Amino acid sequence: MSRVFLAGATGIIGQSLVPLLRDAGHFVVGTTRSAEGKAKLEAMGIGAAIINVFDSEALKIAATTAQPDVIIHQLTDLSAGIDRAAPEQAMRRNAQLRREGTANLVAAGRAAGVKRIIAQSIAWAYAPKPLPFIESDPLDVNATGSRAISILDGVVPLENAVLDQSDFEGVVLRYGQLYGPGTWSAEPDGAAPVQVEAAAYAAFLAVDHGRPGAYNIADPGGAVAIDKAVRELDWRPDFRRQDQA
């Protein structure tokens, strides 16, 4: 069993991921930004730390105290969705979290001597080409407008921080558009949808499975190929938590 530091434990994916990790016997410390979130995590049977990911020193202290083998990064700034009145501001906040928050988590992981960091990314950041996209395809570094905010200011620095180093095993999960309980859509929506519990299952498996690198996580038959995740993580896109009941 592993010691896991789960950043974003009260988020949409985090809430599905916590029971999987806990029930498998992993020792888990989850981060939250509020006392209410801390109480919720403790009620779920895991440790909890109130942390602002932009506070790099506090984050290092929390990580080194937890002594994790693995850090899982499930942080976003999109829990309330995109504000239609100010969509660019919301995208910039989320890109900043991906860029600066990931850098701080990586630094905390180094300080704690982690063996692996697993980070949430997105599956719609690829440069245009005939479908489907595979993990070795380039990201859209020539994106413009709002797409550039998301990809160049957020996704690229996040993935570089996790993958382009040799201090730990870096795994990036490129999630498609989430649907299901707690998300913004009850049914599949978008070019590469993925059910939220299946998304959490991929992060759970990545604790112990898969070589370092990027993995597309989405329903089959969409814009991204998922063969690598099925093969190396033993992932199932049809996974639902009741499968484990």
Number of H helices, E strands in the chain: 9, 9
- When pLDDT is averaged across residues 84-103 and rounded to a whole number, the result is 88
Angle at 113 between CA 24 and CA 32, to 5 degrees: 60
- When pLDDT is averaged across residues 106-111 and rounded to a whole number, the result is 98
CA dist 89 and 148 (Å) reads: 13
Give tens-digit pLDDT for 122-161.
999 999 999 999 999 999 999 999 999 999 999 999 999 9
CB 157 within 8 A of CB 146: no
Give tens-digit pLDDT for 174-223.
999 999 999 999 999 999 999 999 999 999 999 999 999 999 999 999 99
| Per-residue confidence (pLDDT) for residue 87, from 0 to 100 | 74
CB atoms within 10 A of CB 181: 12
| Per-residue confidence (pLDDT) for residue 245, from 0 to 100 | 43
**CATH number corresponding to 3-244:** 3.40.50.720
Q: Enter the pTM of the model.
A: 0.95
- Tell me the two tokens of residue 235: 């992932």
C-alpha pair distances (Å), 153 with each of 91, 104, 144, 159, 241 = 10, 16, 11, 11, 34
| Per-residue confidence (pLDDT) for residue 134, from 0 to 100 | 98
